[in-house]
Amino acid sequence: MRSILTSVMAIAIAVPAVAQQRDLVINFDDLNPAPKAAFEAAIAQFAEENPDINVITNINDREAHKTAIRNFLTADAPDVTSWYPGNRMAPFTDTGLFQSVDDVWDENGLRETFAAIEPTMTRDGVTYGVPYSYYQWGIYYRKDVFDGLGLEEFESWDDMLAGCAAMKEVGVTPFTIGTQFLWTAAGVFDYINLRTNGYDVHNALTDGEIAYTDPRIVQTFANWEQLINECGFVENHASMSWQDALAPFVNGDAGMYVMGNFAVAAMKDAGLTDDQIDYMPFPSINPEVARAEEAPADAFFIPTNATNVEDAKKFLAFVARADVQSEWNETIGQLPPNSEATVSDDKFIQEGFQTVSTAAGLAQFYDRDAPAAMASEGMKGFQEFMLDPSKKMEILERLDTVQAEVY
Amino acid sequence: MAVTDTSQMTVDAAPRAGWVKRNKLSIAPWFFLAPALVFFAIYVVIPIFESLYLSLFEWNGLYDAQGNSTAVYIGFDNYVKLWDDPNFWTSLRNNVAWLVLYMLAVPVGLLIALFLNQDVPGMRLYKSLFFFPFVISQVVVGLIFGWFYNPDFGVVGTVWKALFCEETVNFIGNVTFTCSRPAPDILSSPEWATYGIIAAGLWPQIAYCMILYLTGLNNVASDQIEAARLDGAKGWKMLWYVVLPQLRPATFIAVVVTVIGALRSFDMIAIMTQGGPFGSTNVLAYYMFEVAISEFGERYGYGSAVAVVLFAIMLIYISYFLWRMYQDEKGTR
């Protein structure tokens, strides 16, 4: 009896001691081995540095996270969640489901070290979240094909068209792409638009300030049509995913792929070596336009309904640290947004860092910068255009009607 | 003794026990139905009215931090938008194509059933093989047919290569194919993709109709067949005037499940094309999902309006079906 009493007392005393260890709940959205390992390593380090915080993590599949976030932000909010910047965060910032972290940015000097990426993390003058990683887009090409034809990396549009002609001559399709899931076509559109009109027009278009039938956008599509006619993409792209589209590239039937850096891992898995693949920035079209790049970022946000905001901010400050970002991105093979972080010595990461750190502006993706309803119609339009460029004006006019409705 | 006891008890308990006893027959079914009814109400009936209600709002599906809905009342605007939405009309047209072409499952199923309704050694094995597609999940059927149609590595592509392509070595020395005409890419073609998916959907549906007819054929009265044979009927006449009328119940069920299957076609489309290329294989069910719940959805009100239209179409059909059943019941009584 006595022993029971003592143990009950012991528990009663122990409970407050445990309660002093504060819970911090973090929802993360990537189950792939490398991102998961990097996240878990960072969490372990954070827990070690803050023994008084009890970190609880929920790691979800990416697609599941996209659906779940709409519920858990109101119903059962974690203290920190991963999400995307640009317009993809707008529904949550506009309804007040994410809270401002301006103080984290100010206190940790992030305005300087994250200067390049600050605009996409900001909405209506308020900064939300801290990005932990981003990656470059560009043209990945078969170096052996280029060497065999005596081609150099393309500097200009005309170089590229000439290079395409040389490739077609020997039976190599210049570009591979798989547009079944649409966003790949948006990547090509973004680059042609960024090179034709520049960063400001990209933002104005995705913000709904200029029409799709605007002469500048029409010019973008005219250039794209030229690319389709004189370079050309693999046939059947509308029924292929981006992974399916690797096959002709790996086999040497296609020479180039406009893609994000994550494709390199898949190419290597398919048996290509560093000697066979290389990276170049998308060549310039209008030399007067400053070079802007596509560089989608992943970030952490604090929901308004978070219970432990103080420690959530501590975690965001931790994620922003240069040493943490260096290690994290070394593991996942991407770029650290913090300009003081060290970049992995992988050749693609090095080249990509060169490209994005010297860019005049960093765009998120078309589908992250434009509101969802516009993005889905827009990308369908891009796919339709790639299948039949003669429908150009019809598609643009339809996008104008959608735009009028959405904004 | 015992008699008096019982009479006393009846007098005492009469008002209460009597009611339950008297109404036992009408209470019992409700008692057993209750759990199902509760779930049916929560997951079917209430959502129907919720969709009707939501279709009058513009809403991105989010609640603010205090848990208030951010929906804005816009009346019938969603329906006006639907009327002008080319994607909606494409979906509706595809729904009609599904309805019409899916009906092929009924006669084809009957044909196969007639063919399989023979006494041949090993017939059970053949029957199971024919029924097999219905056992496979729709998602798997979609995946398999997606590969089947693939012009690079699928059956279609392989046959095409054998017919029109020759093996060559490409620029960097790997084996490749050059074709005198490009292989047909059914799922990326806006004209053919829908028919490709319907063909995939027919595969399990035919198996389903076949099994319905096989059970129906078991019940065909052999004395009538014999009588007809004595009268000299055979072949088509036998089928048309003697067998088919007896298969009427099976036909009715086959038509019902096929229509419902056609209207709710969703999984195959989600797996094979995601409604693409550029929305040309959408049907109402998938379009509703796309605008409301998918990655670029966020338009719950609009999605609800699409759902209401699909519901209305089903309602017309289901009312007709219930009316027919009612008439049949009346006839048999």
User: Is the pLDDT assigned to residue A393 strictly greater than 70?
Assistant: yes
The pLDDT, as a whole number, for residue B16 is: 59
Q: Would you tell me how many other CB atoms lie within 10 Å of the CB of residue A209?
A: 13
The pLDDT, as a whole number, for residue A327 is: 93
Among A191, A86, A183, residue whose Cα is nearest residue A140: A191
pLDDT band at B15 (very low <50, low <70, confident <90, very high): low
> How high is the mean pLDDT of chain B?
87
User: Is the pLDDT assigned to residue A1 strictly greater than 50?
Assistant: no
User: Is the pLDDT assigned to residue B331 strictly greater than 80?
Assistant: no
The more confident residue out of B254 and B18 is B254
User: Is the pLDDT assigned to residue A218 strictly greater than 90?
Assistant: yes
pLDDT in tens, B121-136: 888 898 889 988 888 9
A305 and B65 within 8 Å at the Cβ level: the answer is yes
Q: Find which of A149, A181, A239 to mutate to test the B interface (most B CBs within 10 Å of its CB).
A: A239
CB contact residues (below 8 A), chain B span 103-162, against chain A: 146, 149-152
The single-letter code of the amino acid at B91 is: S
Among B160, B152, B158, B144, residue whose Cα is nearest residue B197: B144
The more confident residue out of B51 and A4 is B51
The pLDDT, as a whole number, for residue A339 is: 86
B170 and A172 within 8 Å at the Cβ level: the answer is yes
Residue B245: burial class (beta carbons within 10 Å; 0-12, 13-18, 19+)? exposed
Instruction: Please compute the mean of the pLDDT values over residues A164-171 and round it to a whole number.
Output: 92
The pLDDT, as a whole number, for residue A403 is: 92
pLDDT in tens, A271-287: 999 899 999 999 999 99
Residue A346: burial class (beta carbons within 10 Å; 0-12, 13-18, 19+)? middle
User: Is the pLDDT assigned to residue B78 strictly greater than 80?
Assistant: yes
User: Which residues of A fall within a CB distance of 8 Å from B152?
Assistant: 236, 247
> Å from B100 to nearest chain A CA?
25
User: Is the pLDDT assigned to residue A332 strictly greater than 90?
Assistant: no
A384 and B278 within 8 Å at the Cβ level: the answer is yes
B64 and A372 within 8 Å at the Cβ level: the answer is no
Strand partners, A294: A363
pLDDT band at B7 (very low <50, low <70, confident <90, very high): very low
Q: Find which of A236, A256, A275, A401 to mutate to test the B interface (most B CBs within 10 Å of its CB).
A: A236
Q: Which two tokens stand for residue A375?
A: 């993005």
Question: pTM for this one?
Answer: 0.82
User: Is the pLDDT assigned to residue B62 strictly greater than 50?
Assistant: yes
Among A20, A35, A61, A108, residue whose Cα is nearest residue A315: A108
CB proximity B43 to A under 8 Å: no
The pLDDT, as a whole number, for residue A308 is: 92
CB proximity B295 to A under 8 Å: yes
Do B247 and B216 contact (CB within 8 A), yes or no? yes
Residue A91 is nearest to which of B62, B150, B151, comparing CB atoms? B62
Q: Which helix (H) or strand (E) holds B166?
A: strand B165-169
Taking CA atoms, what residue in A is nearest to B293?
A67
**Cα angle vertex A102, ends A101, A107, to 5°?**
105
> Cα–Cα distance between A106 and A113 in angstroms, integer?
11
